[in-house]
Amino acid sequence: MAGRDQNVGWVGATSGDRHPFAFVGNAKDYFGIWIVNVLLSIVTLGIYGSWAKVRNKKYFYGHTVVDNHNFDYHATGIQLFIGKLIVVGVLSVLVILQLVSPILYLIAVLAFLFVIPIVIARALRFNARVSSHRNVRFNFFGQYGDAFIAYILLPIANYFTLFLCTPFVSRAINRYAVNNHTYGDRKFSFDADIGNYYKPFLVALFSIILLSIVLVGPAIGGLLKTASGTDLSTDETALFKFILGFYALLFLVIVPAMLYYKAVIRNVIFNNTILDNLHRFESTVNPFKYLWIVLSNTIAAIVSIGLLIPWGRVRLAKYMASCTTLLAGGPLDGYSSDVSDTTGVVSSEYVDMEGIDIGIGI
């Protein structure tokens, strides 16, 4: 059964039918959870990681509030641990195949392309079913064919356009992820004009080109010139400079552009999503403030040798929640669900381990 809503001390919606989200956790409390998770994961050689993930999820879900009710997360550490063991076993078999028979490995990888849509659909279903609000579970009913188009066919085609069709891929993934979710027995629906995707994509693309030329281009050019007359395999100084230049390009140009695109698309997703043909959502994330928060969190974590990671996570959660509002078109207490099947944990763990973007996130 879903857990009872916690008393987290939030006043609630301001007025009318606008119900703002809020994250009411704090860095001090989360640091206690985080440091225990880190220490136990180290002591147990990573085994505790599954339980650590559950504790993290429960904290952030339980302290994210809308309409005076918090979200809840219902997966257990043992579920995730078993799922992770199976994933590690499968990946180990692939590694062995790569060493023993490259041909069999290639066949397995190609076959796995047709399995990935199933994995993603089951991961989305698991993550939905272990999430709730007002004791009502979410659910997911996506089908294989739509997943194959969104996650395999369109991304492969995108390579042949030099990634210029990335907005179409993003929209297809978002459509699949949102349109197949339900809250109780009521569906979410999403659609957006492709222009809403191309505008931030072109801004990101041209910023990469411009910043590469102005900021990083001369340095990279000098490094390449040096590297062209140097054997990088024997000259460690030149190799270090070359690697440093590559990461400078990545951190100063490519990553900021990707974060900008992600922030704007987040607004597009929420601002075009409807629940039960009644309730809308509003997202007002400022892409430049989001960029500043993420990059400054990263720098703070590096400078503090990781000790400011909890502060950064809470800071980001507070900002993202503060930019989100539910625009209710009717009562919010008339929903019910009967979801008990939480199969799909293996797929969920694989998606997490591989860092696959499955389409929704706040």
Show me where the domains of the chain are located: 18-354
DSSP reduced 3-state for 362 = coil
Q: Within a 13 Å sphere around the CA of 155, how many CA atoms are in the beta-carbon half?
A: 13
pLDDT in tens, 91-138: 888 889 888 888 988 998 888 889 889 888 888 998 999 999 998 999
Average pLDDT, rounded, for the chain:
84
**Is the predicted pLDDT of residue 230 greater than 60, yes or no?**
no
CA distance 350 to 90: 10
pLDDT in tens, 284-309: 999 999 999 999 999 999 999 999 99
Angle at 267 between CA 263 and CA 270, to 5 degrees: 135
pTM of the model: 0.84
Instruction: Give CA separation, 217 vs 11, 204, 212, 226, 230, in Å.
Output: 51, 17, 5, 14, 20
What pLDDT was estimated at residue 199? 97
pLDDT in tens, 319-350: 999 999 999 988 877 777 665 555 555 555 54
